[in-house]
Amino acid sequence: MNFFKVFGLTATFALLACSDMSSDSSNFSVTTSSLQPGSQVEKEFLTEPSDFDLKTYLEINPDIKYNQIIQAARQKNQAFMDSMAMTQDSVELEDGTKTSIAAVAKERYSADTAAFIHSDTAFTHKIFLMTGYKEDMWISADSLNREQRAMMVRFNLIQSKEPSIAQDKKFVNEFVYDEKAMELHYVVLGALEGRAYRYCKKGELDKPKSEIPPDTLGQAPRLMDYNAHVFCLNKEDGIVYSIK
């Protein structure tokens, strides 16, 4: 199973392109080549903390789960998105006029994304939260700014004919998640990224993650590495801290 593709982890692909990886347990061993010929940097990683709980981890980091929907939509939409660049190819419309395939595709894309955002307020609100925005930021579908709309339409499955919010809702609400990929996320990438794996306990807070400079896995590839620390999310202030 190519679980890296599920998360769209470009940086991880770069890492694994020059790495040897053993995945017969929850411990992973990676060897990365440094920029200096003949030298190697070996990094043993990663083992889940003894109190790791997948449900809590996904609750704190919901994007891990929802990124699977985004990647699936991107793959399904790829042929359509490619057609938006076909400026040299034309198609004849019903009235006999000709226009570029790209122009037709862009018109369909605009109609489809508009339907995705404006057809069902409750669904739009749900996608807004799934994208990572906070509840107190929500006003209405008509109040979304350009960035918010762009982030949200990543969940949109562009229809082959007319826009269909029913199909969009079915795609999102009935999406079958890759459970194995989610189970492996922390040991493959989460610890490197410095993801909080649980909520903080009283008296264990060290430094905010924002104040901790990451290491790198050698000089090439330059992937940030927070694996020297473990992190928790403090419910009181919503900040990720390293654990003492």
Q: Per-residue pLDDT tens, the chain, 244 aa: give them.
A: 444 444 444 334 333 333 333 333 333 333 333 333 443 334 444 788 999 999 999 999 999 999 999 999 998 888 766 655 554 455 444 555 545 556 666 777 888 889 999 999 999 999 999 999 999 999 999 999 999 999 999 999 888 778 889 999 999 999 999 999 999 999 988 998 999 999 999 999 999 999 998 886 655 556 678 888 999 999 999 999 999 8
Residues 40 and 73 in one domain: no
Residues 113 and 37 in one domain: no
Task: Give a yes or no: residue 62 inside a domain.
Answer: no
Domain count, the chain: 2
Nearest CA to 166 out of 118, 224, 226, 120 is that of 120
Residues 162 and 71 in one domain: yes
**Cα distances (angstroms) measured from residue 88 to each of 63, 84, 91, 105, 123:** 38, 11, 10, 13, 37
Residues 186 and 212 in one domain: yes
Per-residue confidence (pLDDT) for residue 215, from 0 to 100: 81
Task: Give a yes or no: residue 237 inside a domain.
Answer: yes
Confirm if 3 and 181 have CB atoms less than 8 A apart: yes
Residues 71 and 168 in one domain: yes
Identity of residue 80: F
pTM for the whole structure: 0.70
What residue numbers bound the domain in which 140 lies? 67-173
Give all strands (DSSP E) within 71-118, no chain letters: 90-92, 98-100
